[in-house]
Amino acid sequence: MTIEQLSGVRLVISLSQEDMKGFALDYSNIYFEDEIFKKVLKRLIRLAQERITISIKNKTLFVEAIERFGGCLLVITVLPKHGSSGRKYRLKHSGNPIMFYFDSADALTDCMAQLYKNGFRLLRGEVFSTGSSYGFIVRPCQSRIDRAFGLLSEYSSGKTENEIKIASFREHCAALVSGFPVMKIGSAFAVKK
């Protein structure tokens, strides 16, 4: 494991494959809701505080995880205090779910593979099947969602934001995957070059 300070607000923690095993982490379970990851992250931040000059204690942190050679890079950025002169961002989309339709399993798996390759592995959603077609329901409240929507629109045959149609689809169709479908489906179909 290495800890490196990149700037006055950013550091990188590099975990090797052995480090990942030692912390009982797998890249697929690196998300903030995972209790194991939360504990490991707190421990890593305590270790980092001893080796860097950035003040991390009681600060808001933005953590990015990047898979690398069976290990992981954690890029941690200290965010400005609320109300400071830092940049402010707004999401263009509401928090209402959007469902993308796919005419075939190939279209769905190709889309999931592209989302996986383009870094949308932790895109939350649900995948349902009618038997001959598929629906991917996603909540657009995440950052960089516009790029994900571009890929989804390229592979899907249509989309809807109608809550009644989405609820009906959930009720009458077979649930295939929920949580992180891009991680679960995309990883199996993403061909590494």
What pLDDT does 5 receive?
A: 78
User: Which residues touch 180 (CB under 8 Å, ≥6 apart)?
Assistant: 28, 31, 121, 122, 123, 124
C-alpha neighbours within 13 Å on the C-beta side of residue 92: 5
Per residue of the chain (193 residues), give pLDDT as tens: 888 877 778 888 888 888 888 877 776 666 666 677 778 888 887 887 777 777 777 777 787 777 777 778 778 888 776 554 444 444 444 457 889 999 999 999 999 998 888 888 778 889 999 988 999 998 765 555 677 888 888 899 999 988 899 999 889 999 999 888 888 898 888 765 4
What pLDDT does 193 receive?
A: 42
CA dist., res. 96 & res. 141, Å (int): 8
Domain of 131 in residue numbering reads as 98-189
Q: What is the Cα Rg of the chain in Å? A: 19
Are residues 107 and 61 part of one domain? no
Q: What is the pTM of this model?
A: 0.51
Closest to 62 (Cα-Cα) out of 38, 78, 50, 74: 78
Q: Which two tokens stand for residue 22?
A: 């030692």
Are residues 74 and 10 part of one domain? yes
CB atoms within 10 A of CB 154: 11
Domain boundary among 28, 47, 78: 78
CA dist., res. 79 & res. 16, Å (int): 26
Are residues 58 and 141 part of one domain? no
Q: Tell me how many helices (H) and strands (E) the chain has.
A: 7, 9
3-state helix, strand, coil in the chain (%, to 5): 35, 25, 40
Please check whether residue 87 lies inside any domain of the structure: no
The 8 Å CB, 24+ separation contacts for 17-22 are 17/69, 17/70, 17/71, 19/71, 20/70, 20/71, 20/72
What pLDDT does 95 receive?
A: 59
Domains held by the chain: number: 2
CA dist., res. 39 & res. 45, Å (int): 10
Q: Are 97 and 137 in contact (CB under 8 A)?
A: yes
CA 140 to chain centre: 12
What pLDDT does 89 receive?
A: 45
Are residues 42 and 124 part of one domain? no
Q: Are 78 and 11 in contact (CB under 8 A)?
A: no
CATH code of the domain covering residue 115: 3.30.70.1950
Amino acid at 106: D
